[in-house]
Structure formats: C-alpha cells, structure tokens
Amino acid sequence: MADDLVVTRAVRIPRNELDVSFSPSGGPGGQHANRSNTRVELRFDLTSSSAFSEAQRARVLERIGPELRVVVDDERSQLRNRQLAEQRLATKLREALHVERPRRATKPSKRAKARRVDAKKRRGQVKRDRRRPRLDD
C-alpha cells in the first residue's frame, strides 16, 4: 500500500506493475548527457493490471488503449525524470477515468423571457428615435 502510485482515491497502482527503463537522453549536454542514463521510459499494461474495476478498465481501455507509455528526459536527474513520468502517467489515467456529468436541459423562466423582450423593445425604440422625422409628424 505504501509503495503504490496514487491515481485517485479508488485507484492505486502497485509499482511492481510499472515497467521502468532508462537510457541516455541524447542531445547537447557534453559528457553528462553522453554517459548518464537519465531518460526514463515508463510502461503500464492496462489489460493485466489489478488496480482497476471492470468498469474502470473498460473506460480506460476505450480512451487510452491496452498500454500506456510515458517518456521523460526533461531534467538532468534520473530520479526527477522518474517522478515526472509517474506524475504524467497518473494524470493521463485520471483524465481517462473522469466521467462527465450528463447535461440537464433547462429553459428560461417567464421573467427572463419578459426581460429579454423588454430589452429588445427598448433597443428598437432607441433606433426609431434616431431616424429622420417624417413630414406628417
């Protein structure tokens, strides 16, 4: 329980279900970039995980697919890149698990309709007042 990645209150992923690999990050940076395995690749197999209920698993598989892969090489530290990868994985899973509330159709009240009509009448009167006066007036 203490060694779990917390996604939501109900979903905790055991860290032994995460496949972590390290490699050199590449790019500019001299000897540190060439010699240090700071790039982190985190893979999570959604189909065989014990962290989800069947409904949650179906929702996540529909939105993400059978495997979630996160690659991070933002920082110089392997430990910090691993933390960032875990945070990004948890965020993606949280977004995939989120259920939108259904929209309830509403209609404007009688008072709101009356206010709208009154405003339109006032606006029309302002426009009529701007017109050039007719000869028979």
Residue 4 has pLDDT above 90, yes or no: no
Mean pLDDT of the chain: 90
Span 8-14, mean pLDDT? 89
| DSSP collapsed to 3 states, the chain | CCCEEECCCCCEEEHHHEEEEEECCCCCCHHHHHHCCCEEEEEEECCCCCCCCHHHHHHHHHHCCCEEEEEECCCCCHHHHHHHHHHHHHHHHHHHHCCCCCCCCCCCCHHHHHHHHHHHHHHHHHHHHHCCCCCCC
Residue 120's alpha-carbon distances to 47, 108, 126, 127, 131, in angstroms, are 58, 16, 10, 11, 17
The pLDDT of residue 42: 95
The tokens 């698993």 sit on which residue? 57
Question: Above 90 in pLDDT, residue 106?
Answer: yes
Check residue 2 and give its pLDDT: 62
Ordered structural domains, the chain, with CATH = 4-97 (3.30.160.20)
With pLDDT > 70 as the criterion, what percentage of the chain qualifies? 97
Tell if the pTM clears 0.75, that is, is over it.
no
- Residues 6 or more apart whose CB falls under 8 angstroms from that of 119 comprise none
Alpha-carbon torsion (110, 116, 118, 120), positive or negative: negative
Longest dimension (CA), the chain: 95
Query: What CA–CA distance (Å, rounded) separates 77 from 66?
Result: 29
> If you search the block for the tokens 């929209």, which residue do you land on?
103
Q: What is the mean pLDDT of residues 34-55?
A: 89
